[in-house]
Structure 1
């Protein structure tokens, strides 16, 4: 008889079993440009706090005030007893900032995307980029719609899938705006054109681009000058807004439908008061201090150019998400450990977060990093290259590169 507890170990578990590197579930003390790990202070180059707002005194003080006034928890779901004036204020501000009639905030960004399942009914068809975030993948699984996956950013493939689908069915295209591991942008102008040509709705997850891209920090939609051309935008408050929580921004009727039908909203405790207040304070800073976005892109440019000059394969990234491909899982773990030994904390990303044999080291600069921090990160990678040789020695390094995207 099969034992449901007797599961085989995953590929990463097998790799970790005989490798001294321990890149996961490592406790960190303190936060910011530098962190403490095992009693050492190292550069934090593997964090989604792109603008450095999670430790900004204005953000932490706003969270503390809300904690003292409202307590640590809402102790219930939004629909029953968990809605505060803070939530309503945040929703109004986000709707105005991102650009939509209405907004709904959720407890996490993952739950915001899971809410999309309430729109995916039997008889509908959803078309999803193969590199979409796991939360979008799970939303599609939870919904009742047929599922068609198109090759990453392959508009010709998507066009063929849309053309072959039932024109009478409800159709929806779902994509990340800024892909969280590869660091490349979705081809939004082409996606908008295809969605309109085939009568499909378009949903963009702006988790990593809202607050970072565009002249006003409004994300990939603003970056491409396509305000009003995307039907629904999702996102998170745990990246550029230094807090935790999710958002859905779009037509008022759609947002109202999700309020009463999305299970991840109805059956989950509301975003804590401190998180909502922190996000509001961070939004003020995002709007008032565009130099933070410029600084993080300056750091990204230095990293991408420096890593490529050292022979590393950084794929097609043009943003502050900088992937360094190793391909092999064990090599990825070794590079991660070598970098940590050199005083730099990064992210070792392996299957299932990326495809098999596409393991990578994920490097993310923050606005609070100094030029000296970036120099030390590049020096650490240079030392790894000297010790291990080219990582990897791949013809991908010879691909022509697009320039790094820099906000106005």
Structure 2
């Protein structure tokens, strides 16, 4: 009897009839707990049972060798195993991402407070944060692990920023799935890359998996042609994984236009919730202007925000950021120490807002959104 051990399943056709495949699964939750307890017993150290359960969840997706290696690192760093070692586990998992080349690890230093407005969406995320902060207790209580959200709406209205801030809020890694980098030149290579990418996201879970502009990532679904056929198969593979997954991968998908996405993508079970991010209302524009002025140290009580809010009707969050940046740049070039309301109004008048540039597209998008049962990301407010 001959045993052949390999991470890649490539069997010559001539040998297929003589080989039996055995898939060695990764350790289960109970097996991970056993590995941790054996390690603790061998070193004669005392670790709280709650800490053991928390770090056991973070080890999910790793093999026994990797778990023991990280436990050794944690013990050498502090002489014990604590809840803080979860950060070490997540850093080590991030190394797997970089080595694979299939997913992109995103470093983001901002917070959910950097998102101006979208209060309904932020309130929902804060509720889910309580689950991710107490995963072990939540699971034991019978709470389902959140699947994810789909953010639909206007360009420049905070969808991508929210995706990044979600990972910071949940205190878990953020990885981006770029479908373009999965496409291979050989038959079946793209599907294999997708399978590996999804397996990798499970291995580093809990994490946020961000799919930006998903309608473009899977462009050509259902159409005829070689490239479109591959995209359709990848999309089907992704949908099946979304429906069946029972791991701690929280999906944040963003889209500008969902009219071309198949109905099965939007049905319940794929995402926990779908939110629509419209152009910011008057209160949100005030918050966004405040955020960008304070971020750059140029906020002062002399600035007349009421005038600015009135003048920026139809501006997106990206438009408002551009106004602040351009105003500060012009003030610096002119040798000014501060900026005034008039300076900001001048920049506003020189800026073509998204509602001017994409007027017809925005109108069509709102018409499409009205046909779906989608939650507004913003709290109700008069459109100032």
> TM bucket by the smaller chain?
under 0.3
What TM-score comes out, normalization by structure 1 length? 0.26
Q: Which has the higher strand share?
A: 1
What TM-score comes out, normalization by structure 2 length? 0.27
Q: Which has the higher helix share?
A: 2
